[in-house]
Structure 1
Amino acid sequence: MNIHSIRAIYKFEMARTWRTLMQSVASPVISTSLYFVVFGSAIGSRMVEIDGVSYGAFIIPGLIMLSLMTQSISNASFGIYMPTFSGTIYEVLSAPVSYVEIVIGYVGAAATKSTILGLLILLTARLFVDYDVQHPLLMISFLLLTAVTFSLFGFVIGVWADTFEKLQIIPLMIITPLTFLGGSFYSIDMLPPVWQTVTLFNPVVYLISGFRYSFFGVADVHIGVSLGMTLFFLTLCMGLVWWIFKTGYKLKS
């Protein structure tokens, strides 16, 4: 394992974050804070508790997951797309660096950024609502698993995309709607039985449910199922990345 190559890619990607703090960190935190103000403080004060949890606190895991998934995809996809777009990816591919080291460098930086952002949003939420984390180790585990999984997914999107518009299609048209429909702002037990069944086909439900369990000990889906689905999606993304480098899909053409 070439640690120097991993460190070089990782530091380069992280340096881009510090140069664009307003866009990379401040903007998502401020946007999420507005959700806490509107839904947590204004609307939440007029709503009853859900599963014994105040509404303002109930939406915290869903909002963190929304930012975590979108930022993981955005950071990873843009990180690999720009070298591909500019042609500098061929210098990386021709260097004595293995595919595993390339992925660890790019995905590790993207996951680090989104994890830091998730923790910042968690701290910011304390300014608006009171909450407790019953299972902190489980919470950190879900945070890291989700960040790595969706960073891998973003890496795949970045390789697949050949225009800047394509980088935004899946996050905006698929991930964000699935997150809003995945129980971010409500419990799926509040839905009619038919829609509860339909909702279970939404993979984001399992991520939000497991993450919410780590906070409050309540969940729409059993924690074991949530963890299993997260690991399944992680394995699927790893398989896609392996296939990309094995076939050279859009990297060697």
Structure 2
Amino acid sequence: MNFLAIAAIYRFEMQRFFRTLLQSFVSPVISTSLYFVVFGAAIGSRIDQVEGVSYGAFIVPGLIMLSVITQAISNASFGIYFPKFIGTIYELLSAPVNFLEIVIGYVGAAATKALFIGVVILATSALFVDVEIQHPGAMVAFLLLTCISFALFGFIIGIWAQNFEQLQLVPLLIVTPLVFLGGSFYSISMLPPFWQTVTLFNPVVYLISGFRWAFFGQADVSIGLSLLAIAGFTALCLFLIWRIFRTGYRIKS
């Protein structure tokens, strides 16, 4: 394992993040505040509690997941797409590094950025509501797994995309709606039985449910299913990336 190569890629990607640190810090703080104003104040004034938890506190895990998933995808996809766009990807492919070291460098940096955003949102949420974390270890584990798995997914999107429009296509038209419909701001138990069944086909439900359990000890689906879902998604992304580098799909052509 070439740790020097991994560190070089990781530092290069993180430097781009630190050059816009103020924007990276202020943006999630403002967006989180707006969510609490709109959902916490406007809707929360009409919904006192959800499953024994105040509505303002109830939306915190979903809000963190929403931001972490979108940030992990966008950072990883842009990180690998830009070298393709300007042609420097060929220098990387000709260097004495294997695909695993490339993936660890880019995905590690994207996951770190998403984790930073998640921590910022959690700290901002504490200014508005009392945030209780019953299972801090599980919370950290779910957060890390989500950052890594969706950074892998974003890496795949960055390789697949052939222009900047395609780079935003999947996150905007597929991922974001799935997150909003995955119980980010409500419990699926509030839905009619038919729509509860339909919602269970949304993979994001299992991530948000497990993450919310770490906070409040309550979940819409079992924790075992949540862990199985995120483990399966991570394994699928790793397999697809292996196939991409094995065949050279949209990298060497």
TM bin, normalised by shorter chain, reads over 0.9
- The C-alpha deviation readout for 1:74-102, integer Å capped at 9, x for no partner, is 00000000000000000000001111100
Scaled by the length of structure 2, the TM-score of the pair is 0.98
Structure 2: distance between partners of 1:150 and 1:25: 20
Aligned equivalents of 1:161 and 1:178: distance in 2? 20
Aligned letter for 1:166?
Q
Q: Which residue of 2 aligns with 1:62?
A: 62
Structure 2 counterpart of 1:51, one-letter code: E
The number of residue pairs the alignment matches comes to: 253
1:92-121: CA deviation from partner (whole Å, max 9, x where unpaired): 000011111000000000000000110110
Instruction: Show the 5 A alignment for 1:168-247.
Output: 168-247=168-247
Structure 1 contact 210–223 (Cα < 8 Å) conserved = yes
Q: CA deviation at 1:32?
A: 2.1
Shift of 1:18: 0.9
Residue pair 1:115, 1:143 contacting (<8 A) in 2 also: yes
CA distance in structure 2 between the partners assigned to 1:63 and 1:243 by the alignment = 33
User: Where do 1:1-253 residues align within 5 Å?
Assistant: 1-253=1-253
Note if contact 1:59-1:185 (Cα within 8 Å) is conserved in structure 2: yes
SS in 2 for 1:96: coil
CA displacement 1:112-159 (0-9 Å, x = unmatched): 000011011001000111120000000000000000000000000000
2: CA distance, partners of 1:192 / 1:215: 25
TM-score calculated relative to the size of structure 1: 0.98
Greater CA drift, 137-146 or 17-26: 17-26
CA 1:23–1:159: 2 relative to 1, 3 Å: farther
User: Which 4+ residue blocks in structure 1 deviate beyond 3 angstroms?
Assistant: 22-25
Label 1:166 to 1:22 Cα distance change in 2 as closer, same or farther (>3 A).
farther
- Cα distance, 1:23 vs. partner? 4.0
The alpha-carbon deviation at position 47 of structure 1 amounts to 1.4
Give identity over the alignment, percent.
Answer: 69
| Structure 1 unaligned spans of 5+ | none
Q: Counterpart of 1:218 in structure 2: which amino acid?
A: Q
Does the aligned pair in 1 maintain the 2:28–2:120 contact within 8 Å? no
In structure 1, the residue corresponding to 2:45 is in which secondary structure?
Answer: helix
Q: Equivalents in 1 of 2:240, 2:63: separation in Å? A: 27
Aligned equivalents of 1:241, 1:29: Cα separation in 2: 33
Q: In 1, distance between residues paired with 2:79 and 2:189?
A: 39
Structure 2 contact 142–211 (Cα < 8 Å) conserved: yes
2:171 partner letter: P
The one-letter code sitting in structure 2 at the alignment partner of 1:210 is G
Please give the alpha-carbon distance, in whole angstroms, between the structure 1 residues aligned to 2:251 and 2:23: 28
CA contact (8 A) 1:40 1:129 kept: no
Name the stretch that deviates more: 27-36 or 120-129: 27-36
For residues 220-247 of structure 1, what are the alpha-carbon distances to aligned partners after superposition, in whole Å with 9 as ceiling and x for unaligned?
0011101110100010111111111000
Residue aligned with 2:49, SS: coil
Shift of the alpha carbon at 1:22? 4.2
Q: 1:165 to 1:22 in 2, by over 3 A?
A: farther
Q: RMSD between aligned alpha carbons?
A: 1.0
**Aligned-pair distance for 1:29?**
2.9
Is contact 2:68-2:115 (8 Å) kept? yes
